[in-house]
Every structure is written in structure tokens, then in C-alpha cells.
């Protein structure tokens, strides 16, 4: 099974595959490459064909998303500070934890909600919320709220896409590819606008080239 192809995931693994991908993308750092947005949209589309049930898609995805973020928060809270404060390295810097704490103290709730719609960011955000020591009750409220919006909106969009667009099955792949590209754009432009991040990226690339 191709874990990067939303159509194959649903057709091969059904609701279990849906739950595992959504949980892994939001709760396990190694799941950052998984197709959360496109998977939810595709699941909604397939529900319009009768292959799966839309309500079950939303319920299962919601539970997986909330528990995934909760697990990511736990990892950040328990292990994050130890990792960041132990030593500086190529990828980790002690100053990140202080910045994270300040950022989540000021924008914690909004970040958790908005991160749902940003690939990679939604994988990192709950972990960094734990690292940043945001109060769990506050995190949980925004986690549930953001998860509900994300796992309801995208499946419904996919469902109505399948119902309204004639021969939608013939263009679903380009549409899904477009969703993936569009979802990455905000994070991409955010990095480009940040001078310090651009500088860090350039320095890391230079170090990689020198090592080779």
C-alpha cells in the first residue's frame, strides 16, 4: 500500500488506514510527510460514491486528530525540554525552547487551530505546545476546536465536490495534487519572509555542502 496516495489508503485500509494516518501525522513527528489534508478531502469524495460513510469519516478522523495532537503534546511536555536543554547541535538549539515558550504564551491557541491546515506545522505544533508549557486545559480546548473544523470541513468539501462536479472521479487526482501544493504555500512563504530563518537555512546548506 502506498502510504502517500490518499485514494489507495482509503480503498485498501478503509477507516483503519484513515485513523492511523491522521493520528500519525498529528501525533508522531515522523508522520510529517503523510497526506492529512488530501486524505480527508479524498475520504469525503469517496463517501459521495457510497464507498464509505461521511459521518464515520468525520467521527473517526476527529478522534484520531484530537488524540494525535494530545500524544504530540505529551511527547513535547515530557521529552522536549530535556532534548533542547541538553546540548546545542546542528538541528537543535537551546534558544528555541525559550522562543517557543514565549510564542505559545502569546499565540498558543490560535497557533494550534491554524496549524491544522498547514502540513509539517500541524505535526510540530502540538509537540512544541508541550515544550512551551502551554496549560493542558487550554491546549485541549483549542485542540478539539481546531480538530473539529479540520476533520469536518475537508471531508464535506470532498463530498460535495463529488456530488456537484460531473465526472469528478476523472479529475480527483489533479485536485488532490492542487490541495497538497496550496497547503504548503503558507509555510513556504512564512519561511521566506523571515530573515533569520533564511539565514539559518543558508548556513545549514553550506555546512551540508562542506561535509560532502
Angle at the Cα of 119 (from 113 to 121), degrees rounded to 5? Answer: 60
The boundaries of the domain holding residue 135 are: 6-211
Mean pLDDT, residues 128-141: 84
Does residue 109 sit within a domain? yes
Smallest Cα–Cα separation from 139: which of 127, 151, 154, 157? 127
Angle at the Cα of 100 (from 206 to 208), degrees rounded to 5? Answer: 10
Digit-coded pLDDT (tens) for 62-105:
999 999 999 989 988 887 666 655 555 444 555 555 655 566 66
Q: What is the mean pLDDT of the chain?
A: 76
Give the total number of structural domains in the chain: 1
- Quickly list DSSP for 8-69: HHHHHHHHHHHHHHHHHHHH-GGGGGS-HHHHHHHHHHHHHTTSS-HHHHHHHHHHHHHHHH
Instruction: Work out the angle between the directed axes of helices 172-193 and 195-211 (0-180°, nearest 10).
Output: 100
Residue, of 16 and 114, whose pLDDT is higher:
16
CB-CB contact of 47 with 57 (8 Å) = yes
> How many angstroms separate the CA atoms of 45 and 161, rounded?
7
> How many angstroms separate the CA atoms of 54 and 20, rounded?
17
Does residue 1 sit within a domain? no
By CB atoms closer than 10 A (0-12, 13-18, 19+), residue 86 is exposed
Alpha-helical regions (H) of the chain: 6-27, 36-48, 54-86, 94-115, 121-131, 136-164, 172-193, 195-211
Does residue 68 sit within a domain? yes
Does residue 87 sit within a domain? yes
Residue, of 205 and 109, whose pLDDT is higher:
109
- Note the pLDDT of residue 197: 55
Does residue 173 sit within a domain? yes
Mean pLDDT, residues 9-20: 89
Quick one: what percent of the chain has pLDDT higher than 90? 23
Does the pLDDT of residue 154 top 80, yes or no? yes
Does residue 42 sit within a domain? yes
> How many angstroms separate the CA atoms of 30 and 104, rounded?
22
- Note the pLDDT of residue 150: 92
Amino acid at each position: 500500500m502506498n502510504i502517500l496516495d490518499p485514494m489507495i489508503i482509503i480503498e485498501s485500509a478503509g477507516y483503519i488506514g484513515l485513523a492511523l494516518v491522521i493520528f500519525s501525522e498529528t501525533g508522531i513527528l515522523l508522520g510529517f510527510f503523510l497526506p492529512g489534508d488530501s486524505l480527508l478531502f479524498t475520504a469525503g469524495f469517496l463517501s459521495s460514491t457510497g464507498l464509505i460513510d461521511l459521518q464515520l469519516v468525520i467521527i473517526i478522523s476527529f478522534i484520531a486528530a484530537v488524540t494525535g495532537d494530545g500524544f504530540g503534546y505529551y511527547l513535547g511536555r515530557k521529552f522536549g525540554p530535556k532534548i533542547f536543554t541538553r546540548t546545542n547541535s546542528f538541528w537543535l538549539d537551546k534558544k528555541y525552547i525559550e522562543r517557543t515558550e514565549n510564542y505559545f504564551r502569546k499565540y498558543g491557541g490560535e497557533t494550534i487551530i491554524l496549524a491544522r491546515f498547514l502540513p509539517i506545522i500541524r505535526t510540530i505544533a502540538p509537540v512544541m505546545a508541550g515544550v512551551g508549557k502551554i496549560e493542558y486545559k487550554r491546549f485541549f480546548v483549542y485542540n478539539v476546536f481546531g480538530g473539529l473544523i479540520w476533520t469536518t470541513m475537508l471531508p464535506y468539501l470532498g463530498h460535495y465536490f463529488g456530488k456537484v462536479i460531473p465526472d469528478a472521479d476523472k479529475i480527483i487526482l489533479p485536485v488532490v495534487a492542487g490541495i497538497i501544493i496550496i497547503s504548503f504555500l503558507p509555510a513556504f512563504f512564512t519561511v521566506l519572509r523571515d530573515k533569520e530563518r533564511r539565514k539559518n537555512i543558508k548556513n545549514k546548506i553550506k555546512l551540508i555542502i562542506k561535509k560532502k
